[in-house]
Amino acid sequence: MSQRRRSVLASKLVIERPGSPQHAILDELRRVILDGAAPPGTPIPLGEVADLFGVSQIPVRESLKTLIGEGLVDHRPNAGYAVAQLTPDELHEIYIVRETLETAALSAGLAKATDADRLAAIEANAALEQAIRDDDPVAYHRHSRSFHLALTRPSKMLRLLHMLESAWNMTEPVQPMVHSTGHDRSALHDDHKHMLEAFLAVDLQRLLATSETHHRRLNTVIAKLPTDTGLLAPEDISLRK
């Protein structure tokens, strides 16, 4: 008798051993969603996931409740669980939150940056340049986050950085840079280079100005993401039920 074909999300799970504790279930579900392995709207079959982890449905359901609180999972009566799907307006709103938090972190952290911080920013930028040369949108998306983290981490404002990370996570299932054009990624990377120059020069006014330019460009890029492929939810909330 042939094995039943696994669902999209379940096929991406890496399970080291049956009977996983709840924190391991939560971490693995979160990893799959943040990696973009399960696009927005992907169903999360509760029973199948529980069977794969070798547990009852209770720890899986509790993990999914946590992910709902993080904005990564949706639950609808009679439809079950699915990877969260944002409307274009919701995506734009989260980018505004990200910009606000990042600006505060840059303002607080630039003067505190150490040689190690500057090296981390240089290395993250080099990884972005390699992704551009390789025309690798997945690597570009991943290293873009590392670059922004390298610039904001010196603030050492742990609560603010946690909120920034949470806001960034909410946009990860969309994988915006993966779905943008090579031209847009190159233009965004030009902004990164200017941001890095200002960061290394400890020029806060220039850093904030170039960051603002970058976020304006980001908003333009995400406004062009396809709205008819299931990547984003329809604005009409009645269509989402």
Give the residue from 83, 107, 136 where a domain finishes. Answer: 83
Q: Between 238 and 22, whose confidence is greater?
A: 22
Q: Mean pLDDT lowest for which of 14-23, 61-70, 143-152? A: 14-23
pLDDT given for residue 82 in this prediction:
96
Q: What token pair was written down for 224? A: 């062009």
Mean pLDDT of the chain: 93
Q: What is the DSSP string of 106-117?
A: HHHHGGG--HHH
- The model carries a pTM of 0.89
Q: Residue 151 belongs to what domain range? A: 88-223
**CA-CA distances (angstroms) from residue 150 to 120, 211, 226?**
6, 14, 30
**pLDDT score at 2:** 37
What is the structure's pLDDT at 235? Answer: 77
Per residue in 89-133, pLDDT tens? Answer: 999 999 999 999 999 999 999 999 999 999 999 999 999 999 999
Residue 241 lies in a domain: no
**What is the reported pLDDT for 151?**
98
192 located within any domain: yes
Q: What is the pLDDT of residue 237?
A: 52
pLDDT digits (tens, 9 = 90+) for 178-237: 999 999 999 999 999 999 999 999 999 999 999 999 999 999 999 999 888 889 998 765
> Would you say residue 3 has pLDDT above 60?
no
Question: Can you tell me the distance from the alpha carbon of 230 to that of 218, in angstroms, rounded to the nearest whole number?
Answer: 21
Looking at the fold, whether 214 and 98 belong to one and the same domain comes out as yes
Burial 167-200 (b: 16+ CB within 10 A, else e): bbbbbbbbbbbbbbeeebbeebbebbebbbebbe
Separation in Å, CA 93 to CA 64, 89, 178, 219: 24, 6, 20, 10
Q: What percent of the chain has pLDDT over 70?
A: 95
Asked if residue 135 belongs to a domain, the reply is: yes
229 found inside a domain: no
Between CA 184 and CA 177 the distance in angstroms is 9
68 with 92, same domain?
no
pLDDT at 5: 62
Which residues neighbour 160 within 8 Å (Cβ) at sequence distance 6 or greater? 101, 104, 105, 108
Contact 49, 88 (CB under 8 A): no
Beta bridge partners of 75: 81
Whether residue 230 lies inside any domain: the answer is no
| 92 and 79 co-located in one domain | no
Contact in structure between 120 and 109 (CB atoms under 8 Å): no
